[in-house]
Structure 1
Amino acid sequence: MLYVANLTIIDADLNAQFRPAHLEYLDKLFKENKVVMAGPFADKKGGMVIYRADSAEEAKALAEADPVVVEGARTLELREWNALQFPLS
């Protein structure tokens, strides 16, 4: 199952401080096949991570362990995502 994390920056200084740890964390999870893709929004107000997890509980644990969430630099909104497979027919 796929889960989308919307990570909105609420403290720019904390975000700058913990962004390297955030990127290292996501890279580690990508190598473990737990992150599908991630990146910042063009408006620089936050970013998105797409997690691959076996359950909502696992996805929540992965997302809540992100250093920018742990340290209070960003809020977390996590939702299960039913991605479409193309072609639709």
Structure 2
Amino acid sequence: MLYVAFLPIVDQEKNTQIRPAHLEYINDLYQKGKVFMAGPFTDKQGGLVIYKADSMEEARHLAEADPVVVEGARTLELREWNPLELPLK
């Protein structure tokens, strides 16, 4: 399943300091097949990560271990996502 993590920034200074570790963490999970896609919002107020996981518990574990969440630079909202198969028939 896919799980979407919304990660709004709550501490810009802390986020700037921790961002390299966040990117390294996301890249490592991508290489392990646990991240489908990730990126910042264009308004620079946060970003999202789409995790590939077997359960909500696994996705939550992955998302909560992200350095920006651990250090309190961003909050986390995690939702299971069921994308449409397009084009619709």
In the TM superposition, structure 1's runs of 4+ consecutive aligned residues that sit over 6 Å from their partners are none
Cα deviation digits, residues 18-71 of structure 1 (max 9, x gap): 000000000000001100000000100000000000000000000000000000
User: What is the TM-score with the length of structure 1 in the denominator?
Assistant: 0.98
Bigger strand share: 1
Q: Where do 5+ consecutive residues of structure 1 fail to align?
A: none
Work out the CA distance in 1 between the residues paired with 2:31 and 2:88. 30
Identical aligned residues as a percent: 70
Q: Where do 5+ consecutive residues of structure 2 fail to align?
A: none
Give how far 1:86 is off: 1.3
Number of equivalent positions: 89
Work out the CA distance in 2 between the residues paired with 1:33 and 1:83. 18
Q: Note the aligned Cα RMSD (angstroms).
A: 0.5
- Name the residue aligned to 1:73: 73
User: What is the TM-score with the length of structure 2 in the denominator?
Assistant: 0.98
